[in-house]
Amino acid sequence: MPHSLSVTLLCLLSVTTAFAGGHTNTLGTTGDPVVVHAGTLLAKPGNTPRKESSIAIVNGRIAAIEAGYLEPAEFGDVFRRPQKVSVVNLRDHFVLPGLIDAHVHMTAQPSVFIRNAQTGGGTISKTDFALNGAVFAQRTLAAGFTAVRDVGADDESAFALRDAINQGVLPGPTMLVSGPTLSSTGGHGDKGFGASESLHAHVRRAEGVCDGAAECARAVRHNVKLGADLIKFTASGGFMSGTGTQQMYEADEMRAIVETAHGRGLKVAAHVYSADAARVALDAGVDSLEHGWLLDDKALRQMKKQGTYLVPTLLISRPSMWADMAGTGKGGVLRDEAKAFEKAYAMGVRIAFGTDVGIFDHGQNALELEFMAELGMSNADVIYSATTAAADLLGIDAGQIAPGARADLIAVAGNPLEDITELQRVRFVMKSGEIYTQDGVYRGGVTTRKVGSPVSLR
């Protein structure tokens, strides 16, 4: 982690501790065994939930699942003796895997910073990014999102935040980070949406701008050097940048990005709106299309054939979610006319949940779930997209509650299969066996896992 950002995050950690009244979690830490009594358990989204179950958790992972409400001693050899085992009573709750958002900007500050940047009234520094992310990560976790994929951020702050979370320095969801979005000169993503020019004055690739196949391959390698978990590039323009929806990269540039990333074992996400740009990106072999509001039937058929994921980010098509920023209404009108999401769902295209949060306020991710349902997706499929499907896209062992999987789970009072808005009122959050929210109260503060003990992403 860069030294300056390390200091910033550690200073914020002290503030967080003070606000938490010095409280630290002692129940359900990664090292403490736990039994969870679940009134209703949706262990594998897409399957039928079961009643009255007990989940044994050891070392932050699911050790066993049994029918009925078992006491620790009834799990046989699952728990070593003598050993204190906490029992969590969720008998009046609906328990399901932790939610996953496959399209976030964790260090981005919505509204005032972006509005000021559009009008030349302000800039965003690296310190702003780092401080924002440390706060927003906790809001995201408290909302029930135990893993996220960050697809475009300052070249250091998101990596520093990811590492601080994974090492136990700060609470937050598991993060996969792309680093700077790759963009053509003048394309969507160039200029960093108001980031201070001093951030990019000396290293052009620091903001991800690259042109030509060779330079784009080098830009991928640069992000890999920074520690990228995936690569994201802008195949088309975008509404917020005023660059339209047309194709931004040539076919050889897209192929260079994808081939270089895949050669290093990284998946590739392509920001795209237009169908023409999407088809070029699909031909290049991208793993997911982000947004895709204007995809036509031909592009959708190609996605289904190739098994490419659509990450629809539908909520930002609503003008009310853009914090009154200029030039954002047109996208929603075009999305509503094209109905690409509705067509993709009907055709059986793979869909992974993603919001583009950072454009709107962090912690409101679950509003996207409601909007997906309003557009015709069944509640069961909405939940699947935000758990099992998103985990598959990210390549992490989450998204279901099964022996061997990470103990990432949440609970709500009602049944989200009947009322998807229940997921906007999360009552319990556990990540890697550690409890962060209980009885609807975020306990936050400092994690009790030993700092420097990493959590595996896969």
Two structure tokens written together for 433: 């066996």
Give the tens place of pLDDT for each residue, 210-263.
999 999 999 999 999 999 999 999 997 655 555 556 767 899 999 999 999 999
Q: Which residues contact 26 (CB under 8 A, 6 or more apart)?
A: 32, 448
3-class SS at 428? strand
pTM to 2 decimal places = 0.87
pLDDT for res 446 = 42
pLDDT for res 29 = 44
Over pLDDT 70: what percentage of the chain? 75
Give yes or no for residue 205 having a pLDDT over 80.
Answer: no
Helix (H) or strand (E) holding 435: strand 434-438
Q: Give me the DSSP letters along 317-376.
A: GSGGGGTT-TT-HHHHHHHHHH-HHHHHHHHT--B-----BTSS-TT-TTHHHHHHHHTT
pLDDT for res 452 = 35
Mean per-residue pLDDT, 25-30: 40
Give yes or no for residue 280 having a pLDDT over 90.
Answer: yes
pLDDT for res 199 = 43
In the chain, CATH 2.30.40.10 sits at 34-97+401-442
Cβ–Cβ contacts within 10 Å for residue 112, how many? 11
**R_g of the chain computed on alpha carbons:** 21
Give the tens place of pLDDT for each residue, 349-395.
999 999 999 888 899 999 999 999 999 999 999 999 999 999 999 99
pLDDT for res 33 = 95
Give yes or no for residue 308 having a pLDDT over 90.
Answer: yes
Give yes or no for residue 64 having a pLDDT over 80.
Answer: yes
Over pLDDT 90: what percentage of the chain? 64
Q: Would the CA dihedral through 381, 385, 386, 392 be positive or negative?
A: positive
Mean per-residue pLDDT, 154-176: 91
d(C-alpha 281, C-alpha 195), whole Å: 27
pLDDT for res 237 = 60
Query: Which amino acid does the sequence have at 172?
Result: G
Confidence of residue 450 (pLDDT cuts 50, 70, 90): very low
In this structure, which topology does domain 34-97+401-442 adopt according to CATH?
Urease, subunit C; domain 1 (2.30.40)
Give yes or no for residue 203 having a pLDDT over 60.
Answer: no
In the chain, CATH 3.20.20.140 sits at 99-394
Give yes or no for residue 206 having a pLDDT over 60.
Answer: no
Exposure class string for 404-435: b at 16+ Cβ within 10 A, else e: ebbbbbbbbeeebbeebebbbebbbbbbbbbb
Mean pLDDT of the chain: 84
d(C-alpha 420, C-alpha 399), whole Å: 17
Mean per-residue pLDDT, 141-157: 91
Two structure tokens written together for 419: 């009322």
Architecture of domain 99-394: Alpha-Beta Barrel (3.20)
Give the tens place of pLDDT for each residue, 317-339.
876 665 544 445 566 666 676 69
Confidence of residue 443 (pLDDT cuts 50, 70, 90): confident
Give yes or no for residue 456 having a pLDDT over 70.
Answer: no
Lowest mean pLDDT among 170-174, 417-421, 449-453: 449-453
